[in-house]
Amino acid sequence: MNSFTRSLWKSLKCGRAAWPRHSSARAAEQHSPRLVLGIETSCDDTGAAVVDESGAVLGEALHCQREVHLKNTNCNSLFFLTRTGGIIPPVAQQLHRENIEQVVKEALSVSGVSVNDLAAIATTVKPGLALCLGVGLEYSLKLVDKYKKPFIPIHHMEAHALTIRLINQVEFPFLVLLLSGGHCILAVAQGVSDFLLLGQSIDIAPGDMLDKVARRLSLSKHPECQSMAGGKAIEHVAQAGDWRCHTFRVPMQHYRNCDFSFSGLQNLVNKVIIQQEKEEGVQEGELLSCAKDIAAAAQHAVAVHIVKRTHRAMLFCIKHSIISPKNATLVVSGGVASNQYIRKGLQIVADANGFAFLCPPPRLCTDNGVMIAWNGIERLRAELGVLNCTDGIRYEATAPLGIDISKRVEEDSIKVPRLKLKI
């Protein structure tokens, strides 16, 4: 697609005049929006997308590995399963290698542009599974070198945090809660690459915990959950369960900070599962009759824990004028943000504190190329981290998000008032 055609396409898409204001191709070139290709391979999804400066997604493609890893949950790779929540890194790496070229070609084909039309290539380089990050970075650098394009390295969690600005006019600063299978982070987004870290999980992430509980409950054998990821299966069966049948102690209630912990809660859930198996005479790996109640109780405890820490973050931000009460916004993103039960709890606490509550649509909550491309657009416009030389670029399996002020939060020792969560 040449610049003139792209300008015409955009005019039609946005409902403006059928023809660009300037008839010459040169004038159209001057006014055509810049395009960024985003590439994502941080975990088990191979994603690519082309996005322009206006936020229009011109083309995207995604290869999901979930089915492969679900089939492997019963294999003998217990070391990998324990550490990665069902994702087997060498398998994920190989699948990325097999699919990345086709995914990128599909995104470009759907968008109708070539690599030559791009203003830059943006790629996730941190954090994530090292083997997977390496595939995306290696492929991207080959494109950058071949077509002489600027490269924009992307922080995966920054991309999740900024996705909301693709679809909503959210001004900085805003409070952001990032929930996924690998992360649980509370931060203030003050700018495109300017974050204040208020708290994070000190052990495992909520998505990881829910996946492990789902496996321990053998929900993959439930007729309605066979093709579902663990967390989704928990949410599904919990709808028919009663969390009051098994009440779990909410973690870290005596710590007045914004950090999270889910490993202890997982252990409590496992103990109840073991006890119920004894009472029902059921072997491990078989479905319990009370599985839906345990799932509901585990999900409820996770939701309450997340809501209480988020409540403290809101109070801290208002107290220190980090966020103005007049335009306070809570943004929730990441894979676990798609959980409607957890969303409802967060909506309640947001309403109670005068915060607008926003979430990207479910398809943009999970890992995808669109969010990476959009983060690239944000950085391109702000002229931040756009590299013309890629010497020394490396991927990083772990990487902090912004400036850590969690100690200040803890020192404030803010008591969170009791809030009736009728979820």
pLDDT at 70: 58
Q: What is the mean predicted confidence (pLDDT) over 150-157? A: 97
> Is the predicted pLDDT of residue 26 greater than 70, yes or no?
no
pLDDT of residue 87: 81
Mean pLDDT over the full length of the chain: 89
| 174-362+402-412 has the same fold as 3-20+35-168+366-382 | yes
* 3-20+35-168+366-382 fold: Nucleotidyltransferase; domain 5 (3.30.420)
Average pLDDT over residues 359-363: 93
CB of 37 closer than 8 Å to CB of 104 = yes
Could you read off the pLDDT of 276-301 as tens digits, one per residue?
A: 999 999 999 999 999 999 999 999 99
Beta bridge partners of 95: none
Q: What is the CA radius of gyration of the chain?
A: 23
CB atoms near residue 253 (< 10 Å):
11
CATH C-level class of 174-362+402-412:
alpha beta
Domain locations in the chain as residue ranges: 3-20+35-168+366-382, 174-362+402-412
Using a pLDDT cut of 70, give the percent of the chain over it.
87
β-bridge mates for residue 329, sequence order: 356
Decide if 123 contacts 107 (C-beta within 8 A): no
Q: Which two tokens stand for residue 145?
A: 């070198």
Please calculate the CA angle 122-127-129 and round it to the nearest 5 degrees. Answer: 105
Q: pLDDT band for position 418 (50/70/90)?
A: confident
Question: What are the backbone angles phi and psi of residue 155, rounded to the nearest 5°?
Answer: -85, 120
Average pLDDT over residues 339-362: 96
Given a cut of 60, is residue 258 above it in pLDDT?
Answer: yes
pLDDT of 341-351, one tens digit each?
999 999 999 99
For residue 48, give the nearest of 10, 95, 99 by alpha carbon.
99
Q: What is the DSSP letter of 88?
A: -
**80 pLDDT above the threshold of 90:** no
pLDDT given for residue 63 in this prediction: 94
Question: Do 197 and 404 meet the contact criterion of CB atoms below 8 Å apart?
Answer: yes
Judged on CB neighbours under 10 Å (0-12, 13-18, 19+), 202 is middle
DSSP run (H or E) holding 58 = strand 57-64
Whole-structure pTM value: 0.87
Q: Is the pLDDT score of 209 beyond 70?
A: yes
Q: β-strands 356-358, 184-191: how paired?
A: unpaired
**pLDDT of 331 over the 90 cut:** yes
Of 231, 214, 273, the closest CA to residue 248 belongs to: 273
The residues, any chain, with a CB within 8 Å of residue 169's CB and separated by 6 or more, are: none
**Which of 285 and 227 is assigned the larger pLDDT?**
285
| Pairing outcome for strands 174-179 and 329-333 | parallel
Q: Please, are residues 136 and 158 in contact by the beta-carbon 8 Å criterion?
A: no
Task: Between 2 and 396, name the one with better pLDDT.
Answer: 396
The confidence score (pLDDT) of residue 32 equals 81
Nearest by Cα to 375 from 65, 131, 118, 162? 162
In this predicted structure, what is the pLDDT of residue 420? 73
- Give the pLDDT of residue 16: 30
Q: Which helix (H) or strand (E) holds 146?
A: helix 130-147
pLDDT of 69 = 60
In the predicted structure, residue 15 carries a pLDDT above the cut 70: no
Average pLDDT over residues 238-251: 96
Q: Give dist(CA 253, CA 250) in Å, integer.
A: 7
| pLDDT computed for residue 379 by the predictor | 98
329-333 and 151-155: which strand pairing?
A: unpaired
Q: With helix as H, strand as E and coil as C, how does 163-225 read?
A: CHHHHCCCCCCEEEEEECCCCEEEEEEEECCEEEEEEEECCCCHHHHHHHHHHHCCHHHCCCC
Residue 11 pLDDT greater than 60, yes or no? no
| pLDDT for position 71 | 61
